[in-house]
Amino acid sequence: MQLFIDTANVQEIRTAAGWGILDGVTTNPTHIFKSGRPFEEVLQEIFSIVDGPISVETVSLEAAGIVNEGRAVARFHKNAVVKVPVMVEGLKAVKQLAAEGIRTNVTLCFNALQAYLAAKAGATYISPFIHRKEEAGQDGLEMIKEIRGIYDRYGYKTKILAASIRTTREVLECLNAGADVCTMPFNIMESLYHHSMTDAGLKMFLDDWKKVPPVKLFAAAPAGR
C-alpha cells in the first residue's frame, strides 16, 4: 500500500518526503486556501519535492469545464492527477480525460456503487472517504472491502485510494482491507512511527549504554560511513 500525504503545507510535505516513505500527495481547494499562497506557486513547489502522483482538484460542476481544467492540470506537470468529484458530470469528464490518457482521482466516494461507476468511466484512482462515513454511523472499512471485491472480481484496474483518515488504526485497517493507497494528514503519518513500548525500550537501551566503558568503534568511524 502506497502512502500519500493529504495537505498543501509545503513544509509538512518536505518533512514527510525526508522520511523516505512518501509516495505521493493529495490536495484540495481547502488545503490550498489554508496555505495562504498562490495556487500555481504552491503546486510548483510540491511537484519539486515529491516525484510521485500529485492530485489536484477541479472546481467546475459541468463536464466541459472539468475537462478543460483537467487538461490544464495535466499540462502543469507529468505527475499531475486530476481530482474529480463522483457525480454525473464528473464521471462524464473522467471518461473523456481517460480517453486522452489523463490520470484521474475520483473523490468524495461514499459507497461501492459509486466506486464501480468511477471504474467503468476509467478512473485511475477512487477515493472512498473512511472517517467521514464512520462519523455518519456507517462502516467505512466495509466499503473498502466491498470495492476491493468488485474490482478484483471484474478486473477493474482503478486503484483504491483510502481517504479521510483520522487515526493510525484506520491506516492499519485500510492496509489489511486491500487498499492500494492511503492518504492522510501529516500528524497521522508521523504517528505511524510511534509506540509507547518502543519509546520505553529505547530509553532503557540508552540508559544501559551510558554504563558501558567508552567504545572506540563508534568514535573512530569516519563521517558518512
Catalytic residues: 83
List C-alpha distances in Å: 113 to 30, 87, 98, 118, 147: 26, 12, 20, 9, 8
State how far the alpha carbon of 172 is from the alpha carbons of 121, 194, 199, in Å.
29, 14, 20
Residue with cell 483537467: 70
| Cα–Cα distance, 115 to 160 (Å, whole number) | 9
Dist CA 132 CA 129 (whole Å): 6
d(CA 25, CA 16): 10
Q: 90-107 burial, b if ≥16 CB within 10 A, otherwise e?
A: bbbbbbbbbeeebbbbbb
DSSP per-residue codes, 94-106: HHHHHHTT--EEE
> Closest Cα partner for 85 from 131, 29, 13, 145?
29
